[in-house]
Amino acid sequence: MQAKQDPCSHPGLMHPDQAIPKLLDQVQPTADTEVVQLNQAMGRILAEDLASMLDLPPFDNSSMDGYAFRLADLQQSSTLKLAGYSFAGHPYEGEYQQGTCIRIMTGAPLPACYDTVQMQEKTQADGELITIEAPDATGANVRGRGEELKAGDKVLVKGIRIGAAEMGVLATIGQSQVRVYRQLTVAFFSTGDELRPVGSDLAPGQIYDSNRYSILGLLQKAGVNWLDLGVIADDPEAIRAAFLEASCNADMVLTSGGVSVGDADYTKQILDEEGEITFWKMAIKPGKPFAFGKLGDAVFCGLPGNPVSSMVTFYKIVMPLLQKMQGLPPQPSLSVKATLTSPIRKHPGRVEYQRAILSRNAQGELEVCTTGSQGSGMLTSMSLANSFIVMPQMQGDTPAGTLVDVEPFNEILS
């Protein structure tokens, strides 16, 4: 018997693997850049390749608290005479004398002509006479000038997002300012007469506007400015006015709700009049009625109103669009195979992103189960999950024990 088709699917809906690259072709990376102080650079996208201005480390130095000496001197005697001190920031400035050693601290410059360091624990001090256990090789416990990087070596490449490690690397190479791409602005509004702001009372038939907050969270993770246009009533003129304001002030106009076929679903209709819808509906669950287009110079993305649909379409479609517009290269998603521990119910027709918990069993093998009911209004299915099970478009019901594709959430969703 043939599996029953997904009632929400219909022939001609494009597979996300085909549709998303087509949408990506319709947006361009910003060309605008600005210079920011290093302490403002976290999360920004680097707009230039950067080479080190210095050797790293900039001078030979000790990796241990101990004594510096010439290894050859230890062949004459294992006891050397203390000739001076080298502290981090206060190098030894005397000359090398045969048969001597220098008290040296971690990070302190290795004095010229001394070639090796022994850690304190492998030495014995008797006044100024230091007995040293010979290390295996010349250069032991020495971090050589330029061993990490030579001046002129490329350190960071254009198009990376500056994270905590990059902040440190930039400081290490002496970069007090950095050129980054302009931060994009995304204008957001939700539509729906049933929506009320959190903190207010609910009348019968009303619900809280939760998408505003889940989408705000995602936009913050995306590293863009957020222009909040609030909740717009299901009124064509109010939606039109919001679109016009948004398109004048933002690189992307993002909306939630009103993209399906209901009597009050005006978002798509008004956008058709004021701008251009170039794409509507793909074979994805949840999120089929996702809409895409242009509004003036801004890109338009219409997220379906169902709370899980809006998050999934943001993650799978809007996020890669924003990444490209920000100047980031494509960020491939990680996929692993895991064994289903409970059956999955699915109609053939759309690729499904089932919210799931990925873990390792006692044998160390990857296992996965769904978070339970998968209704696209059930936002707790997202908050319980750490991954998506990605079910192929024409797959039907799937028994426990099947090996399935799983995409662990990346930093955007965690």
Binding site for ligand MOO (CB under 6 A): 8, 285-288, 304, 306, 309, 376
Considering only residues 289-348, where is the footprint of ligand LQZAQKY5 by CB under 6 A?
Answer: 289, 304-307, 309
Compute the least distance from the CB of residue 183 to ligand MOO, in Å.
Answer: 30
Is residue 381 near ligand LQZAQKY5 by the rule CB under 6 A? no
**Residue 247 interacting entry, from ligand MOO, ligand LQZAQKY5, none, C-beta within 5 to 8 Å by type:** none
293 strand-pairing partners: 277, 300
Please tell me whether residue 230 binds ligand LQZAQKY5 under the rule CB under 6 A: no
Mask for 163-202, x = binds ligand LQZAQKY5 (CB under 6 A): ---------------------------x-x-xx-------
The nearest distance, CB 287 to ligand LQZAQKY5, in angstroms, is 6
User: E strands within 192-345?
Assistant: 195-196, 207-208, 225-232, 252-256, 276-280, 284-285, 291-295, 298-303, 336-340
Figure out which of the listed residues 1, 203, 261, 362 binds ligand LQZAQKY5, where binding follows CB under 6 A. 261
- In whole angstroms, how close is the CB of 24 to ligand MOO at the nearest point? 21
What one-letter code names the amino acid at 52? S
**What is residue 243's three-state secondary structure?**
helix
Backbone angles phi, psi at 41, to 5 degrees: -90, -10
Give the nearer residue to ligand MOO in terms of CB position, either 8 or 384: 8
- State the nearest-atom distance from the C-beta of 233 to ligand MOO, in Å: 22
Taking the complex as a whole, how short is the minimal distance between the CB of residue 284 and ligand LQZAQKY5, in angstroms? 9
d(CA 387, CA 409): 5
353 beta partners: 390
In angstroms and rounded to an integer, the radius of gyration of the C-alpha atoms of the chain is: 30
Q: What share of the chain is helix, strand, coil (3-state, %, to 5)?
A: 20, 30, 45
Q: Give Cα separations from 51 to 144, 148, 164, 297 (angstroms).
A: 19, 13, 18, 35
Residues of the shown chain interacting with ligand LQZAQKY5 in the complex, contacts defined by CB under 6 A:
8, 190, 192, 194-195, 207, 209-212, 256-262, 265, 286, 288-289, 304-307, 309, 376-377
